[in-house]
Chains A and B, each alone.
Chain A
Amino acid sequence: MLSESSLFLKGVLLGSIFCVLMTMLGHIRMDYGKRRRHYEHHHLQAPDEDILKLAEDERTNLSKSFRVYCIILVKPKDVRLWAAVKETWAKHCDKAEFFSSENVKVFESVNMGTNDMWLMMRKAYKYAFDKYGDQYNWFFLARPTTFAIIENLKYFLLKKNSSQPFYLGHTEKSGDLEYVSVGGGIVLSIESIKRLNSLPSIPEKCPEKGRKVWDVSEDKQLAVCLKYAGVFAKNAEDSKGKDVFNTKSVGIFIKEAMTNHPNQVVEGCCSDMAITFNGLTYNQMYVMMYGVYHLRAFGHVFSDVLVFLPVNASDND
């Protein structure tokens, strides 16, 4: 009896030690991962705030030179968020089209005829390039859970030549592969999309269909193909090094900041020039529209290089 209980207790002790070790290791790995990411990923910054002093019409022309085509990949189950996106931020794209896995009665969409996200993505890029390659110079792809501020995207793209192969967003690393996370939105320049489409279909390098066995996500798949075409992912940051494409919502960032740095919650949260947030609900899309395009403090004036007029037929801004 005594030997059994002592054996049991020894087991408890071992279990606890093992658990502590694992937790510590986990934290170390996380920290290491963070540090590693910081030194090894590639990043691209927003233009410096005081760049050009331009005349009024020059500013208008410059603003019009960014033509952004938005690709939003949807499935029937996304129909509520789809509705919100359609009525809110998508109106700020120069053109926005919804690419769905199948025909949905309620809304107009381009039917990709497949449930496979990677195939949907690939076909959508091909469609966009074939049809609109000569009309748009930047291609922004998102899911309906994402909220985007296209004006801030255009500001970020200032001084970036679209005939260069740009592939931007919130990047993550999977082994050696640096890829843009689809949750934060993916930005491709016309050159990148051209290269993507001129790739021959070599299953090992750039598969036609998604691999069901390994379940590689579509954003990683895209990175693999683009890499093969000589296009590399870059993490987009503002002049202070903060991410401008975000895979989380404002609320999540705030909650994290309240825990991690409670004395600098808003300062530590997110970029002033944030382009995307992800994980929003239907209601939050409308709150963001109001918060971004309406709600502001009187008496705070900005002298911006670009000029964007409100869009037509848009109630929420």
Chain B
Amino acid sequence: MASKSWLNILTFLCGSAVGFVLCSQLLSILLEEQKDIQPSVLHNDPHARHSDDSEQNHLEGQMNFDADASQHKDENTDIAEKLYQKVKILCWVMTGPQNLEKKAKHVKATWAQRCNKVLFMSSEENKDFPAVGLKTREGRDQLYWKTIKAFQYVHDHYLDDADWFMKADDDTYVILDNLRWLLSKYNPEDPIYFGRRFKPYVKQGYMSGGAGYVLSKEALKRFVEAFKTDKCTHSSSIEDLALGRCMEIINVEAGDSRDTTGKETFHPFVPEHHLIKGYLPRTFWYWNYNYYPPVEGPGCCSDLAVSFHYVDPTTMYELEYLVYHLRPYGYLYRYQPALPEKMLKEVSQIYKNEDKKVNQEPLKEKHK
């Protein structure tokens, strides 16, 4: 009899243990967030693109430039606002249906707001996101098709709404204020385009797709025209290379996007990969591709960097925090870049007016 009651107790205890464990597992699945393990990614092929690429989405409305300016009472954004008006940039982001919620959403929540106009391009229209449908298929081999169609779409609908037309991926982080500074020295009527310049295959070089590239209005016009007249065709599926070849054919200049100290502004990787000496192995393709002498360590990246690539969602927000929020109080940065001459006159006007508090209205106009 005693052994039977022991057995009963044991059975009961086993049951409660099993119940407890099962329940805690269930609860932990329900309650806890998933931990993301980020493997360090070395992309072995310069033309390797993201495996799940998809469709196109329709137009994205304009966002308020000053979305978070109210947070910073001591921050003066007059110059940035002036540049916003003077250097109009339309951004289109290469994405697809599977990536809208996974990646494009975070682009939309961060840097996309600062474009004068932003469009999310997918193979399939999505009215809610919103995203433009380019009516292509899915897949890596579709990238150049999507690019051609995206630029065509932008040309047909928004040519007059911007001066410069930027293409980025849904894992590219772009600092629009710095892009405007870079482009303010140039004329959108000139046939020129900028990005991270690579040297192989194309005599004048071509721009890395992932780091993003930006076409002048004239460059866009010529590009679209070239496909109508068959000057350029869908020659390959390697988007950035094919586009670079076309640019050369139509006499659009591959610009030098480096800052006034010679530091690169468009980056094909995240800051860590460029800043840490030895991170990218010597045998990596990158060292042979860069048009200008590549630099690793602190000289790699301009203070006024324009883009980074292979940026995962967490890093999107981290960069947003580091660029637009965290700062060293009172610090006099070593690099003090100047505005181009034509802008300097207008800016000095701003500072004169600050004291007099006259004529503030046109400059303080908010963009709705």
Contact surface of A with B, Cβ cutoff 8 Å: 3-4, 7-20, 23, 49-50, 63, 149, 151-152, 154-155, 250-251, 254-255, 257-259, 263, 265-267, 269-270, 272-274, 283-284, 286-287, 289-310, 315-317
Contact = CB atoms under 8 A, between A and B. Distances in A.
A255 B38 CA distance: 12
Contacts of B276: 283, 286
A293 B20 contact: no
B42 interface: no
A12 B22 CA distance: 9
Given A287-B275, A293-B331, 15 more contacts: A11-B13, A11-B16, A11-B18, A19-B24, A149-B326, A269-B325, A272-B72, A286-B276, A291-B326, A295-B303, A297-B80, A298-B178, A298-B180, A298-B304, A300-B77
B109 interface: yes
B18 A294 contact: no
Contacts of B36: 255
A11 B15 contact: yes
Interface stretch (B4-12, B148-156, B218-226, B358-366): B4-12
B20 A15 contact: yes
B20 to A, nearest CB: 4
A301 B318 contact: no
B326 A292 contact: yes
Nearest to A305: B330
Contacts of B22: 12, 15-16
A258 B105 CA distance: 12
A298 B334 contact: no
Contacts of A18: 16, 19-20
Interface of B: 7-8, 11-24, 27, 31, 33, 36, 68, 71-83, 109-110, 175, 177-178, 180-181, 271-272, 275-276, 279, 297-298, 301, 303-305, 313-314, 317-335, 337
Q: Identify the interface centre among B23, B71, B279, B320: most chain A CB within 10 Å of its CB.
A: B23
Contacts of B180: 298-299
B317 A258 contact: yes
Contacts of A4: 7-8, 11
Given A11-B15, A273-B329, A298-B180, A267 B271 contact: no
Nearest to B337: A298
A306 B74 contact: no
Contacts of B324: 266, 297, 300
29 contacts: A7-B8, A7-B15, A8-B11, A8-B14, A10-B15, A11-B15, A12-B15, A15-B22, A16-B23, A19-B24, A23-B24, A49-B74, A63-B330, A250-B326, A254-B317, A258-B313, A263-B109, A266-B317, A270-B321, A272-B327, A289-B298, A291-B326, A295-B322, A296-B327, A297-B177, A298-B181, A300-B80, A307-B332, A308-B330
A29 to B, nearest CB: 15
Contacts of B177: 297-300
B332 to A, nearest CB: 6
Interface of A, helix, strand, loop or mixed by DSSP: helix
Nearest to A151: B328
Contacts of B337: 298
B11 A295 contact: no
A273 B297 CA distance: 26
Q: Identify the interface centre among A11, A267, A291, A292: most chain B CB within 10 Å of its CB.
A: A11
Contacts of A155: 329-330
B105 to A, nearest CB: 9
Contacts of A19: 19-20, 23-24, 27
B321 A250 contact: yes
A283 to B, nearest CB: 5
Contacts of B303: 294-296
B331 A308 contact: yes
B326 to A, nearest CB: 6
Nearest to A240: B71
A310 B334 contact: yes
A309 B328 CA distance: 11
B19 A11 contact: yes
Contacts of A300: 75-77, 79-80, 177, 324
Contact of A299 (B77, B313, B320): B77
A294 B317 contact: no
Given A16-B23, A259-B33, A291-B271, A9 B80 contact: no
Q: Identify the interface centre among A19, A296, A309: most chain B CB within 10 Å of its CB.
A: A296
The 9 closest A-B pairs by CB, nearest first: A11-B15, A15-B19, A299-B80, A15-B16, A12-B19, A291-B322, A306-B330, A15-B20, A299-B79
A272 B76 contact: no
B32 to A, nearest CB: 9
Nearest to A284: B272
Q: Identify the interface centre among B16, B36, B271, B303: most chain A CB within 10 Å of its CB.
A: B16
A49 to B, nearest CB: 5
Nearest to A301: B76
B124 to A, nearest CB: 24
A9 to B, nearest CB: 6
A290 B274 CA distance: 11
B80 A298 contact: yes
Contact of B16 (A12, A63, A272): A12
B322 to A, nearest CB: 4
A317 B72 CA distance: 24
Contacts of B275: 283, 286-287, 290
A151 B301 contact: no
Contacts of B83: 298-299
Nearest to B304: A298
